[in-house]
Amino acid sequence: MIITAFYTAILICFCILIIICIQLKKTNKILKRQTYYDMLTGLPNRALFYELLQKVLGIATRSNSPVAIIFFDINNFKKINDIYGHCVGDSLLQHFGIKVCSVIRKCDVFARIGGDEFIAFFYNVNLEHCCKVILPKLLKTFNKTLKIKKWKITISVSFGISVFPQDGNDIEELIHKADIAMYKMKKAKQHYARNQ
């Protein structure tokens, strides 16, 4: 009897350890997701974007390839939130992410870095290709009215572009230049700009 009870106790402890290991694995997966992905849109966040861009810039340096970085901002997003509410604003951000991901290549990375600000990088894409092919495709996507909940909302998006290596060699400089170009564009009410 004592031996059977002992083995039963060991079996129960073993089962408990298995359950704990499974829960830890699930928790680690959730924590990794929260660390690297935006919880609202499911897009990569700033941390993952920087990590991936750092790797791509290393590859681009060795292969002498350009990398285009585009900084995106949804114009008048605060007004949309004020008029329609944050629930509609959140849905708009989700739709925006889906639309952009539907027109870019699988090897390109598109991330939400905060609020209504997004950023993408395009490996082996120079400024000319970015302006003639990628941006018109993106602009065409946003010239359509979005149906969100019961509302039809038309959005406009501002873009700023920087290109590795001509606009800089490190992440912060490239993103800063794309961000400055985007704000210049907003001020001039153009579709997109490049910081020069």
H-only helix segments in the chain: 2-36, 46-63, 77-84, 86-103, 127-129, 135-142, 171-188
Q: pTM of the entire structure? A: 0.81
- What's the CA dihedral at 132, 161, 109, 99 to 10 degrees? -60
Q: What is the pLDDT of residue 193?
A: 47
Residue at token pair 């509410």: 85
Specify the amino acid at residue 6.
Answer: F
- Of 52, 189, 33, the C-alpha closest to 123 is 52
Block residue for tokens 């810039």: 57
Single-letter code of the amino acid located at 47: A
Q: What type of residue is 153? A: I
Q: How far is CA 176 from the centre of its chain?
A: 16
Nearest residue to 133 (alpha-carbon basis) of 175, 104, 95? 104
Tokens 């600000």, residue located:
117
Residue 30, pLDDT score: 66
3 state DSSP class of 145: coil
Q: What is the pLDDT of residue 27?
A: 67
For 46-194, CATH number out of 3.40.50.1370, 3.30.950.10, 3.30.70.270, 3.30.70.100 equals 3.30.70.270
User: In the chain, which residues have pLDDT < 70?
Assistant: 1-3, 27, 30-31, 33-34, 190-196
| Per-residue pLDDT, 131 | 86
Answer whether the bond into residue 44 is a cis peptide, omega within 30°: no
Crossing angle of helices 46-63 and 171-188, in 10° steps, is 110
Q: Are 106 and 67 in contact (CB under 8 A)?
A: no
